[in-house]
Structure 1
């Protein structure tokens, strides 16, 4: 896609993985040998700790020199100069509401880091971008579909002014962090879901894949409700909701991960939410006042964390036992 042959890319990745694996194996053997000699009494505790520390420093040093070269470093002045705010940035930062996004229309959506330095940006670069977001960029955002920018809560658009300098324009149709819709439109599959975004009003309609028909049953029209974001953290979102039997759309990416990695709650009770508008979150909320929470709590993370703690505990116990044994043998000697 960028002029590289795929076999060359695979070969480079294979070579990199092989060299990294061999280096890790070598350091592992050296560490194991050090622990063996310590255990058999051929190395003292201090000497063993020094050798293992030296191995760790060597590993870090080799990795650093392999990844970062001297010319990659910038002075603080150089760093700040390349991200100096423009008049448009300063104007947007006057908005006291911190929870909105900005579309910088003067640069590409996938190769811009400047905007993300100052604002929550619609665009930007990431090596592990979600495929559905890339699909939206390719099929809608690159075609400047304002309905899609609005559902992503692009409250401001940076354009080129008459004087050649960036200028900020307010998007009056930005949907906000979350909103209630009047109707749901059921489409047969993901392709139809994407196509439906070509001409729709995100403030009134939510487009839903037929796989979620069970969630909405036969009810396709809903009452209005007010939604307000009250607490924001990348892993924890809290909303205050008041109104009738509503269907809410949240301007956050729907992500299942290994299985319900994002869990929704209504008044503290876990509930299911679905994907709408190809990549956003949708949730049915009963009438009245409610607190809605989205929390990122992947089971795989907590399982891995427990395994990590257990492994670290075992290593610490082994080191304690080996040290205690060394001290006792020295005392008896």
Structure 2
């Protein structure tokens, strides 16, 4: 066993971490689903199910998702999830829900193993690195990500220590292959596809490069800084090239999304600083239930919700303090201290004026929000410092009178900091028991949340007492070690157990399970009634459970959905993102081919709708809702006799404002720069609505075939109730046609007299080019790995 551990230390540590994660997530092996109703995984499930189903049936990645927000690009929009990341392969060989949970579990193990590798790369012994990896794997910013379902955050958090390890080796050994491995890791971070978290990782990497080239005291034998800079830049290019398959389509898409719009709720300083970390919530690092949490119903803080944990662990923080006494690694320790402080103040976002600096200077920051996400770098730094603290304890004895095998006290020991820590933990327990924390919370909490704050007092008291006990034991073990009364083995094993108990006892609260996907996402009575209608239409879900992405899991298209970066013009057509003031506007409902409404309450008699099912109908959440069919709705596609060029804002007003008399069946409104259409001044009267039926012959996400029952006698315009995007291509009876944005956000295609068939197809040249670049980049990385392996075997033989 010892031989295996010393020969394959990272693999050995990963095996132990995997066993621990397998036990923590035991319900997974019983078929449970790792999500709760408030998790993003509930909505993300539909995206992943859609992509996996498309890949299995069509044989490729989907370019278009027709099921939410009037249809929207899929591959071009990275917020749809890990489409190109290796975890997507799991969904091709096992049920989607199980694959999503397994992706989380694998990356918990990787977070620990890669931190272990980083610490070994930094020169720490196996025991110290094991505790550092263990603490990062179980820290709040890692393990609690199962609560909000933020797998992308977790994936980048897990890969960050690996990236830093490769960069450290690259700079310190001048190895080009290590730069290449660093670049590949950056590429996989981008593929996760959490660009914001990757941005934060690159901040840490950039600061590490600066430290190693200008502030590290051991620079002898390294390449000049300008050579290193060139290799660092080349590595970043490799990283972006690996992500080209996703990055190029996204770069095209972003200007069409809410975050690329000149105005809107997804722009500006207030948006960028939303979900900043309130300064008072810093106390969560030691007393994890101080601000409460949304899942527990105890959150009283300034943000709307709080689904994660910042808990660093009392034992980890005590050990991190010891790291500062490891003099021989003092400069590296100060680097991680700087990263922790930088990330902490960055996470405060709009709660301090300091955030104006990165907001103004750093490119792309204005497109992001929730700066609190960078806090994972605080967690990583604390765990690395804790490993340095263990290393300090386990150093060879420096006092000759120490018993054999014991760790003797060095000349200078951290007794004072340990006493201070003991006093802090005792003070916290006294404040919790006496109500001092309660007084503090009541002075900070929103009056509307005082009840939630009160509900969390009991858990806060328990946490204060729990960490007092565990921290006290840890301090006792450390004192015993410093006095030479404990051997190295019992010291690090005791500390590892304390770290695991401390972190697990808090983060297990965030792990919630649901029945298997076959139960959680089973068809309900509402969807069974809707699916009885075989046409192509959309549903407006106003009952809470249908406002998100359940309907797409049943193959039902909806007017809204849960996404966040849908097409900006579609948002405006519906009255603005978030408010959607035009959602029930009759003209807008006709345009988006809405046919059904799902409401939480029954309507009074209304000739515009007809009740389906005779009364309340059961929902998948074991509630009830009312299903109505609109008595008048337009088909998915139809012929229109005229096209009129009007400015966008005028088109939006004609469509949405009452009393304009606009009839979408008589004219399509196209932009002023459209290749067809007439000016309003040239209109002498609009043709009557064309009743010719247009049948959808093929509907396969990326391809739509439309058959015109009676060929038009004169040139006409085929309106399609699908969002316009530049990737749409059309053929009319096999000949290239034009696709133009019409009715502000949708599609119109001019068709000549006698036309019979129109085919719409999404074709992304950005994806096609990006795919080639990605494959070539991955081939380069694989070749480097093969060459490195060959050289290692050759050197071993020699």
Q: Deviations over 1:133-188 (max 9, x none)?
A: 2112226753621121122111222233375652322224322221111333332x
Q: Quick one: structure 1 residues 168 and 25, their matched pair in 2 at CA, closer, same or farther if it must change by over 3 Å?
A: same
Structure 2 counterparts to residues 181-220 of structure 1, below 5 A = 181-187=640-646, 189-198=647-656, 199=660, 200-212=662-674, 214-216=675-677
Q: Quick one: structure 1 residues 31 and 329, their matched pair in 2 at CA, closer, same or farther if it must change by over 3 Å?
A: closer
| Kept in 2: contact 1:250–1:282 (CA 8 A) | yes
What's the TM-score once normalised by structure 2's chain length? Answer: 0.32
Structure holding more helix per residue: 2
Pair 1:169 & 2:605 matched: no
Q: Quick one: structure 1 residues 38 and 136, their matched pair in 2 at CA, closer, same or farther if it must change by over 3 Å?
A: closer
Aligned partner of 1:254 in structure 2 is: 724
Aligned partner of 2:746 in structure 1 is: 280
Q: Deviations over 1:57-94 (max 9, x none)?
A: xxx9x99997xx653542225x6776665543332122
User: How many angstroms apart in 2 are the aligned matches of 1:39 and 1:81?
Assistant: 48
Pair 1:100 & 2:568 matched: no
Determine helix, strand or coil for the equivalent of 2:574.
helix
Q: Which of 507, 520, 527 is 1:89 aligned to?
A: 527
TM-superposed CA distance for 1:31, in Å, is 6.8
Pair 1:26 & 2:164 matched: yes
| Kept in 2: contact 1:87–1:166 (CA 8 A) | no
| Kept in 2: contact 1:141–1:149 (CA 8 A) | no
Aligned partner of 2:770 in structure 1 is: 304
User: Which runs of no fewer than 5 residues in structure 2 stay unpaired?
Assistant: 1-152, 199-307, 310-375, 377-506, 604-614, 617-623
Q: Quick one: structure 1 residues 161 and 89, their matched pair in 2 at CA, closer, same or farther if it must change by over 3 Å?
A: farther
TM-superposed CA distance for 1:308, in Å, is 0.5
Determine helix, strand or coil for the equivalent of 2:566.
coil
Pair 1:76 & 2:509 matched: no
| Kept in 2: contact 1:230–1:239 (CA 8 A) | yes
TM-superposed CA distance for 1:107, in Å, is 4.7
| Kept in 2: contact 1:246–1:287 (CA 8 A) | yes
Aligned partner of 1:44 in structure 2 is: none
Pair 1:265 & 2:731 matched: yes
User: How many angstroms apart in 1 are the aligned matches of 2:783 and 2:724?
Assistant: 42
Q: Quick one: structure 1 residues 22 and 318, their matched pair in 2 at CA, closer, same or farther if it must change by over 3 Å?
A: closer
Q: Deviations over 1:275-308 (max 9, x none)?
A: 1111000100112344322222222211111111
User: How many angstroms apart in 1 are the aligned matches of 2:582 and 2:165?
Assistant: 48
Q: How many residues align?
A: 288
| Farther-moved stretch of structure 1 (242-251 vs 198-207) | 198-207
Aligned partner of 2:106 in structure 1 is: none
Q: Which of 529, 532, 548 is 1:112 aligned to?
A: 548
Q: Quick one: structure 1 residues 329 and 112, their matched pair in 2 at CA, closer, same or farther if it must change by over 3 Å?
A: closer
Aligned partner of 1:243 in structure 2 is: 711
Structure 2 counterparts to residues 35-184 of structure 1, below 5 A = 71-76=510-515, 87-97=525-535, 99-107=536-544, 111-118=547-554, 119-138=556-575, 142=582, 144-159=584-599, 160-161=601-602, 165-184=624-643
User: Which runs of no fewer than 5 residues in structure 1 stay unpaired?
Assistant: 1-15, 41-48
Determine helix, strand or coil for the equivalent of 1:309.
helix
Q: Quick one: structure 1 residues 108 and 286, their matched pair in 2 at CA, closer, same or farther if it must change by over 3 Å?
A: farther
TM-superposed CA distance for 1:309, in Å, is 0.8
Greater RCO between the two (CA within 8 Å, min separation 6)? Answer: 2
User: How many angstroms apart in 1 are the aligned matches of 2:629 and 2:725?
Assistant: 29
| Kept in 2: contact 1:249–1:281 (CA 8 A) | yes
What's the TM-score once normalised by structure 1's chain length? Answer: 0.70
Q: Quick one: structure 1 residues 191 and 206, their matched pair in 2 at CA, closer, same or farther if it must change by over 3 Å?
A: same
Q: Deviations over 1:25-63 (max 9, x none)?
A: 5143257489988989xxxxxxxx9xx99xx9xxx9x99
User: How many angstroms apart in 2 are the aligned matches of 1:73 and 1:234?
Assistant: 33
TM-superposed CA distance for 1:240, in Å, is 1.9
Q: Quick one: structure 1 residues 315 and 85, their matched pair in 2 at CA, closer, same or farther if it must change by over 3 Å?
A: closer
Q: Quick one: structure 1 residues 326 and 38, their matched pair in 2 at CA, closer, same or farther if it must change by over 3 Å?
A: farther
TM-superposed CA distance for 1:238, in Å, is 2.0
User: How many angstroms apart in 2 are the aligned matches of 1:288 and 1:254?
Assistant: 25
| Kept in 1: contact 2:640–2:716 (CA 8 A) | yes
Determine helix, strand or coil for the equivalent of 1:161.
coil
Q: Which of 318, 321, 324 is 2:787 aligned to?
A: 321
User: How many angstroms apart in 1 are the aligned matches of 2:663 and 2:785?
Assistant: 63
User: How many angstroms apart in 2 are the aligned matches of 1:255 and 1:39?
Assistant: 41
User: How many angstroms apart in 2 are the aligned matches of 1:229 and 1:28?
Assistant: 53
User: How many angstroms apart in 2 are the aligned matches of 1:39 and 1:178?
Assistant: 55
Larger radius of gyration: 2
Q: Quick one: structure 1 residues 153 and 28, their matched pair in 2 at CA, closer, same or farther if it must change by over 3 Å?
A: farther
| Kept in 2: contact 1:87–1:167 (CA 8 A) | no
| Kept in 2: contact 1:133–1:279 (CA 8 A) | yes
TM-superposed CA distance for 1:328, in Å, is 4.7
